[in-house]
Amino acid sequence: MNDGCHDHLLRGVEILHDPSLNKGTAFTAAERDALGLHGLLPPRISTQEQQIQHVMYNVRRKPNNLEKYLYLIGLQDRNERLYYKTLVENLEELSPIVYTPTVGLACQEYSHLYRRPRGLFITRYDRGHIREVLQNWPCKNVRVIVVTDGERILGLGDLGTNGMGIPVGKLSLYTACAGIDPAACLPVMIDVGTNNSELWSDPQYVGLPEPRLDGDDYDSLLDEFMEAASAVFPNVMIQLEDFGNKNAFRLLARYRDRYCMFDDDIQGTAGVTLGGLYSALRMIQGKITGQRIVFLGAGEAALGIGSLVAKAMMAQGLTEEEAIGRCWFVDSRGLVVACRTDLEEHKRRFAHDLPFHRNLPEVVEAIRPTAIIGASGQPATFTPEILAAMARLNDRPIVFALSNPTSQAECTAEDAYRHTNGRAVFASGSPFPKVELDGRTFIPGQANNVYIFPGVGLGVMAAQAARVTDEMFSAAAKSLDEQVSKEDFEKGRIFPSLGRIRDVSAAIALAVAKVAFARKLTKMKEPVNLPGYIKAQMYDPAYPLW
């Protein structure tokens, strides 16, 4: 074994108990003889395909999504290749189980359902020793870390250590969607406490029942983690995930030029939304530089999208001032404008010299946007009146209702089509079923970050890039748009089918790796056949023959 996780040859039951090696009933007769497995398995030998059918049969007969999730996690613990191959072949059906929305439920129940650990837990009591904790991880060739402090898990708020389900789920998607070897993936929870007092009083809570660290104590712990992780695992890329709003922007600004890292909530969301905008504009023959975009929400998602969209406009010839001037933000207190005295620092860049408006209907009439993008976590805020106004102002209004889960979306797909007479180009954060309206069928797009982060990770890893830059996310967005075909457009889709995700990720990885080479962000020499080189890096969950 050269995966950095095994240091001696395993035999017999040890193999069956090692999820990275176990093939269960698919071990051939010859393998069973050679590996000392004879008699340790039932006699009938299956193919991996038959095992996948068995898994899906069991998944589908579970009574609810949480049970499906638990069954799949159990499979991941027993037989990694079967888990990933099942996921790859059934991604559309299973990604809402292993990731949002079901993973949210799983996080809420994490302590109650806890059976065995997955990933690494670091706390304030490890201060000064974080390197040693990281060295306890059995695999030495870690290339991707997803880390959270559990403060803002999906739309569910502060879940403390229960948020560990998120890094675990995200890394499953890195493997399934972009073929990052599971042995190279490390989920990390930095448990700095929780301000969720319900957790303190829950005797089953497995995290630290104490208030969150703050200020310099928090920053120095995170500094130590970033430094230690990059030292213990050279070439690692660190993805920040579900950090609270006040820390996410700060940490990204603090680390982006020091480490190979990014924040998916800010930059990954921006990449997928810009990709969706490019495709929407290709569909309706519009130009990015001609858009007037109103964002509902001015948090990690919305401001991340705004910054990347502004960069895309600048790349098409607008000045920074002109580009920024085409994006407007509405937060919980109203339009983000310069005269407001209550604005956080990260919103100031987009605070225009305009009269203040308290609510979205007023803003829509004042700004006359071509696109509205919701990332506020507030359901039903794109009201029938606002949608009708968008249809009055535009032939083909762009309406993205990105808030998750489905119940929080700013409007439903059906509302978006109905109140714009079927003229909206619509995408959402969570999946909506297709809509039948006046004899027409509409397939809503899902602006799922899974289109972007696995491909970016693969590109950064393949090119051994030392940094993750916004230019990489712009290139990823462009590449995502290029994967949307005429046939997709004919069905009304502005994102490719998830069934093609491994090809999509490989193309995005190529675009990202090209940025790394062009900008000299790597010491590696560019391979002659870069696309072939990237594909060769991808983990294939099909069973190897022993």
Q: Is 506 left (phi over 0), alpha (psi -120 to 50) or beta?
A: alpha
62 has which bridge partners? Answer: none
**Active site positions, annotated:** 99, 170
Q: Based on CB atoms, which residue is closest to ligand NAD, 373 or 516?
A: 373
Q: Based on CB atoms, which residue is closest to ligand NAD, 380 or 538?
A: 380
Residue 94 interacting with ligand NAD (CB under 6 A): no
DSSP letter assigned to residue 499: G
Residue 377 interacting with ligand NAD (CB under 6 A): yes
Query: CA–CA separation, 494 vs 179, rounded Å?
Result: 24
Q: Where are the beta strands (DSSP E) in 90-165?
A: 120-123, 144-148
* CA neighbor of 375 nearest in space, from 418, 423, 427, 311: 427
* Options 408, 420, 479, 522; binder of ligand NAD; rule CB under 6 A: 408
Shortest Å, Cβ 220 to ligand NAD: 24
* Options 206, 272, 504, 506; binder of ligand NAD; rule CB under 6 A: 272
* Options 46, 195, 378, 497; binder of ligand NAD; rule CB under 6 A: 378
Enclosing H/E stretch for 278: helix 269-284
CA distances from 207 to 157, 214, 545 (A): 16, 17, 41
Query: CA–CA separation, 446 vs 434, rounded Å?
Result: 11
Residue 251 interacting with ligand NAD (CB under 6 A): no
Among positions 273-332, residues that touch ligand NAD (CB under 6 A) are 296-302, 330-332
Site pattern 147..176 for ligand NAD (x: CB under 6 A):
-------xx---------------------
Among positions 425-444, residues that touch ligand NAD (CB under 6 A) are 429
**Torsions phi, psi for 260 (to 5 deg):** -85, 95
Q: Based on CB atoms, which residue is closest to ligand NAD, 122 or 302?
A: 302
Q: Please tell me the number of Cα atoms within 13 Å of 338 on its side-chain side.
A: 5
Q: Based on CB atoms, which residue is closest to ligand NAD, 182 or 374?
A: 374
Q: Based on CB atoms, which residue is closest to ligand NAD, 312 or 447?
A: 447
Shortest Å, Cβ 376 to ligand NAD: 4
Q: Based on CB atoms, which residue is closest to ligand NAD, 126 or 242?
A: 242
Burial class (CB in 10 A: 0-12, 13-18, 19+), 362: middle
**Cβ contact 512:476 at 8 Å:** yes
Scanning 89-97, 199-207, 376-384, 474-482 for contacts with ligand NAD by CB under 6 A, the matching segment is 376-384
Shortest Å, Cβ 106 to ligand NAD: 16
Q: Based on CB atoms, which residue is closest to ligand NAD, 296 or 458?
A: 296
**Alpha helices per DSSP H over 179-244:** 197-200, 215-232
Contact partners, residue 328, CB within 8 Å, separation at least 6: 292, 293, 294, 295, 335, 336, 350, 352, 363, 367, 369
Residue 404 interacting with ligand NAD (CB under 6 A): yes
Shortest Å, Cβ 269 to ligand NAD: 4
* Options 37, 260, 447, 480; binder of ligand NAD; rule CB under 6 A: 447
Shortest Å, Cβ 207 to ligand NAD: 21
Shortest Å, Cβ 514 to ligand NAD: 24
Contact partners, residue 195, CB within 8 Å, separation at least 6: 158, 211, 212
Scanning 63-71, 195-203, 308-316, 400-408 for contacts with ligand NAD by CB under 6 A, the matching segment is 400-408
3-state secondary structure 72-89: HHHHHHHCHHHHHHHHHH
**Cβ contact 483:503 at 8 Å:** yes
Residue 383 interacting with ligand NAD (CB under 6 A): no
Contact partners, residue 466, CB within 8 Å, separation at least 6: 260, 521, 522, 523
Q: Based on CB atoms, which residue is closest to ligand NAD, 86 or 448?
A: 448
Give me the DSSP letters along 327-367: EEEEETTEE-BTT-S---GGGGGG-BSS----SHHHHHHHH
Query: CA–CA separation, 542 vs 186, rounded Å?
Result: 22
Q: How many residues bind ligand NAD (CB under 6 A)?
A: 28
Closest residue to ligand NAD: CB criterion: 299
Task: Give me the residues that bind ligand NAD (CB under 6 A), please.
Answer: 154-155, 245, 265, 269, 272, 296-302, 330-332, 375-378, 402-404, 408, 429, 447-449
